[in-house]
Structure 1
Amino acid sequence: MEEDLPPATEKAQALLQTFSSASLLASTGIGAFCLLADHVLQLNALQHHLWLRAVLDNTVHGVIGLWSWAIVIGVRKKSDFYEVILAGILASLIDLDHFYMAGSLSLKAATSLAHRPPLHCSTFIPILCLSLRLVLWLGRLKDSWCSLPWMLFISLASHHIRDGVRHGLWVCPFGNTAPISYWLYVSITATMPHLCSVLMYLTGTREVISTKHGIAIDV
């Protein structure tokens, strides 16, 4: 019967699923995870193990990225699982630019840079996402890969917001903002998947994904 629903009704249901009880519970879980993970990273036992702390911190970035994307698309089949893992990897790989900028595998050198590395410039997020969307459109892949720019947005933005607690956001060429308050970071991280879903709905991306893959986008 669901296939016989009018298009407007299907769209309304898809939008309501963005704020389903399951997706809201999952986003609350992200907030709780941020609190727990950051508490663990502040333990005295980790402060003298720089590599372990760096790996754990990067893992938290990855988990937030994959968890956020899981809320956006849901995980109902194997291809969804692969997308979620890719989102987590993208959120983690950003920190490799520290080593690129340092020209060394030394963690001390990578974390003692005079300037922030290129992938940590928040101005690049909309530029990269819009450029990818243009490339997909020019290559006539806008339907098959339409969610990829949004995945990139979630992965990059979640990483930048978390880093912003310590350093603020680097909005080149205007400089750095003030550090983001901790509770604002947690709130943004928890609500970003819903914002992304609404934007995907407004741009028609959700409809394309649901039509081609039969996905109801929530957790």
Structure 2
Amino acid sequence: MLFSLGKLFVLEVSLLLTCFLGDHLLTHPVTNQRYLVAIGDSLTHGFVGAISWVIVIDAKNRHDIAQCLLCLMFAMAVDVDHFIAAKSLSLEAALSLPSRPPFHATTVIFLVDLILLIMAAILKSGTPLTLALMFTVAWFSHHVRDGTRRGLWLPPFTETPPLSGLAYLGLIMVIPLLGRILYTNWLQFSTDRQLKIIESNIV
């Protein structure tokens, strides 16, 4: 599972450019209407999630691309809670909430991951582990981008101060690299376990 350093460099630069472009468009006079800002911000979250997952799995085929598109949708789905909390499809109502909606709580990521890890242990399947990693990459990258304005929200414990630009971009670049390490280690562990099962059956 070797990863070309050149390819990794291009993808990491693509992540940075996506963030810079997305953040710039949010303040550009052309996108001063709220619905354009919302669409642009959501698409930026999605593309950050998709590129991050390309790095995690070293996407090479249609199946991998399908996973990247799923990660894109996961990253964009976070903002659905604005409409759920507002109990309305009105963008104005969704963007005028008195407090942060539930999907923006970073502790939710840990709860979902715990459920998926339990499922993986019960089903003895690696699929829930992959979903847990994808979910974490997608949602945490979304929370980090939002964290530049209001910090990370960690109920019922605390919340952090707003993230600096350096911390924000650094985390965006590091998240998929850590995900890559976890993913490749899981694949190696899974492969070794399958080989041991085959060897025991032969014996």
Normalising by structure 1, we get a TM-score of: 0.81
Q: How many residues align?
A: 193
Provide closer, same or farther for how the CA distance between residues 171 and 145 of structure 1 changes in structure 2, counting only shifts above 3 A. Answer: closer
In the TM superposition, what whole-angstrom CA distance separates every residue of 1:80-130 from its partner, at most 9, and x where no partner exists?
Answer: 111000000000011000000011111121111112111110111122112
In the TM superposition, what whole-angstrom CA distance separates every residue of 1:10-42 from its partner, at most 9, and x where no partner exists?
Answer: xxxx4xx35733113311220122112211221
Structure with higher RCO (Cα < 8 A, 6+ apart): 1
CA contact (8 A) 1:66 1:87 kept: yes
Q: Which residue, out of 59, 83, 90, partners 2:43?
A: 59
CA contact (8 A) 1:197 1:206 kept: no
- What is the rounded CA distance, in whole Å, between the counterparts of 2:20 and 2:62 in structure 1? 30
CA contact (8 A) 2:25 2:40 kept: no
Q: CA RMSD in A?
A: 2.0
- What is the rounded CA distance, in whole Å, between the counterparts of 2:64 and 2:191 in structure 1? 13
Q: 1:209 Cα deviation (Å)? A: 6.8
- What is the rounded CA distance, in whole Å, between the counterparts of 1:92 and 1:208 in structure 2? 31
- Amino acid paired to 1:111: L
Q: 1 or 2, which has the higher helix percentage?
A: 2
- What is the rounded CA distance, in whole Å, between the counterparts of 2:155 and 2:128 in structure 1? 29
Q: Secondary structure at the match of 1:146?
A: helix
Matched, 1:111 2:87: no
**Unmatched 5+ residue regions in structure 1?**
1-13, 213-219
In the TM superposition, what whole-angstrom CA distance separates every residue of 1:173-198 from its partner, at most 9, and x where no partner exists?
Answer: 12321000122111110121111122
- Amino acid paired to 2:48: I
- 1:30 corresponds in structure 2 to 15
Provide closer, same or farther for how the CA distance between residues 69 and 32 of structure 1 changes in structure 2, counting only shifts above 3 A. Answer: same
Runs of 4+ in 1 over 3 A off after TM superposition: 208-212
Normalising by structure 2, we get a TM-score of: 0.87
Q: Which residue, out of 159, 173, 187, partners 2:170?
A: 187
- What is the rounded CA distance, in whole Å, between the counterparts of 1:123 and 1:211 in structure 2? 33
